[in-house]
A = this chain, B = another copy of it.
Amino acid sequence: MLADDFLGQQRERSEDPLPESYVHAFREIDADPNNELIVAEIDGDVIGTMQLTFTPSISFRGGKRCTVESVRVDEKHRGKGIGREMMLWAIDRAREKGCISMQLTTHRDRNDAHRFYESLGFSKSHVGMKLKL
């Protein structure tokens, strides 16, 4: 699913067996209590995925944040509200973990994503800046 969209095509490799770097990253996420990789399933098939990171923080009076990354729904299952359901689940999960806010960045060109997150109550208050290392 990550390799599926117009940005992902350029940067992911979907092959069998998967490059070892993916497996290594999965193990690291799995071992970290502040990172959760979530999948949505229909009849045992994975049709959606996202990653939640819980970050303890000093600012905002010591409030914990939840960052959502890599939100994807399988092309064949888009337009059915699955992304919305996943995000509502994520918001509940973040509250359950004691987070005071949820944050995400999305590429400037993903206009549909901006509208989608705004419809969930997110506001475009920030600029997301990236540096390749």
The interface residues of chain B lying within 8 Å CB-to-CB of A64 are: 25, 28
| A125 close to B100 (CB less than 8 A) | no
| Interface secondary structure of A, over-half rule | mixed
Interface size class for chain A? Answer: 35 or more
| A59 close to B70 (CB less than 8 A) | yes
Indicate how many identical chains form the complex: 2
Indicate whether A17 reaches chain B with its CB closer than 8 angstroms: no
The interface residues of chain B lying within 8 Å CB-to-CB of A127 are: 105-108, 114, 124, 126-128
Other A-B pairs beyond A21-B63, A66-B133, 17, CB < 8 Å: A19-B61, A21-B62, A24-B62, A28-B56, A35-B55, A57-B69, A103-B128, A103-B129, A104-B129, A105-B126, A105-B128, A105-B129, A108-B124, A108-B127, A114-B127, A118-B129, A121-B131
